[in-house]
Amino acid sequence: MGGEGHMLSMINSLKNNKAIRNDRKHLKDTYSPKGKTELEFIKKSDDELQEIRKKIKLKAKAERRKTFIILFVFSVIISIIFFILFWDFSINTDLFFNKYHRN
């Protein structure tokens, strides 16, 4: 009867999957947290916190400025490329206006 090979393959696959699942049980102990799981934060004074905030704001401002400059430069470059590519393709607007707008 046809299909025995497929059935045997399915049975072997199920056996192998079960063996893999059983092998993973010993890993459960190694990856489970055994100690304290809460985070401990360093206590800082208000002056130190203000200084940290100021540094973060300065870095963010510098990053925004850098991003803006890069974007501007790429925009100018792309504009120049388009201008050079389409310089020869001039549109004769007289044909359009004379056809649809009569004096």
Q: Which residue has the higher pLDDT, 27 or 57?
A: 57
Is the backbone of residue 5 left (phi > 0), alpha (psi -120 to 50) or beta? alpha
Q: How confident is the model at residue 23 (pLDDT cuts 50, 70, 90)?
A: low
pTM of the shown model: 0.44
Give the pLDDT score at 7: 85
Residue 52: partners with Cβ closer than 8 Å, 6 or more residues away: 44
* C-alpha 17: how far from chain center: 34
Helical spans, DSSP H, in the chain:
4-23, 27-31, 46-85, 93-100
